[in-house]
Amino acid sequence: MDALKSAGRAIIRSPSMAKQSWTAGRHRKLPENWTDTRETIVEGMTFNLRHLGMTLAKAMGKKPQKVALKISPQGILLFDSLSNKQLENVSIYRISYCTVDKLNDKVFAYIAQNTLNGTLECHAYLCSKRKVAQAVALTVAQAFTIAFELWQVAKEAVLWIAMVHVQVLDIGVKPQDLFSEPLGQNQRKHSQQPQPIQGR
């Protein structure tokens, strides 16, 4: 729903956006304010690129595969553009670095840890334009930021639940006791003295 609202706001700001084909096979032109819409990143933003692979492209001896790269706070999903088959799912937590190549500014690349053997792999993608490569890199950076913010909120929620949840610890102390002030000397004496039993 939020994504629909942000799309509506973007169309109001830039009416020419409404004329664009949202179902076309090619990537859509990014509006000037695309970095302002967190909802778009949370749902995932897709870019159509050519996967150069993990080796030198010239050494492969074949054309780079056309792929769609979907970026979200969960990570990067890689789909074959022709069959729409998922080729790879890289968790955002496995990605250590992403950049636009300094020598070829149409190439976007990221470094991720392999889940099987822990080695670092560099994945490279050829974009149609320099601006698309920059947009992909910025989108991954925003996905990192959102993922970190979500992680912080989840961490705080777990701590809050642990503090609120009434549970006696091994030493007989409840979580609430940790935040209350210890009894002073006078308070201890009065609280430990037996109260006289009143007669009938």
| Confidence (pTM) | 0.55
Give the per-residue SS3 of the chain: CHHHHHHHHHHHHCHHHHHCCCCCCCCCCCCCCHHHCHHHHHHCEEEEEEEEECCCHHHHCCCCEEEEEEEECCEEEEEECCCCCEEEEEEHHHEEEEEECCCCCCEEEEEEECCCCCCEEEEEEECCCHHHHHHHHHHHHHHHHHHHHHHHHHHHHHHHHHHHCCCCCCCCCCHHHHCCCCCCHHHHHHHHCCCCCCCC
Query: Apex CA 68: angle with CA 62 and CA 69, to 5°?
Result: 110
Per-residue model confidence (pLDDT) at position 178: 53
CA distances from 150 to 34, 143, 158 (A): 21, 10, 12
pLDDT over 60 (residue 163): yes
Percent of the chain with pLDDT over 90: 32
Per-residue model confidence (pLDDT) at position 130: 93
Q: What whole-number distance in Å separates Cα of residue 141 and Cα of residue 110?
A: 11
CA distances from 85 to 28, 66, 123 (A): 21, 12, 18
Tokens of residue 97, six digits: 């670095």
Q: Which residue has the higher pLDDT, 186 or 142?
A: 142
Per-residue model confidence (pLDDT) at position 46: 77
Per-residue model confidence (pLDDT) at position 15: 46
pLDDT tens, residue by residue, 15-71: 444 444 434 445 555 555 555 566 666 677 777 877 766 654 455 567 888 999 999
Contacts of 74 (CB under 8 A, 6+ apart): 44, 91, 92, 147
pLDDT tens, residue by residue, 75-118: 999 999 999 999 999 999 999 989 999 889 999 999 888 888 88
Q: 2-147 has which CATH code?
A: 2.30.29.30
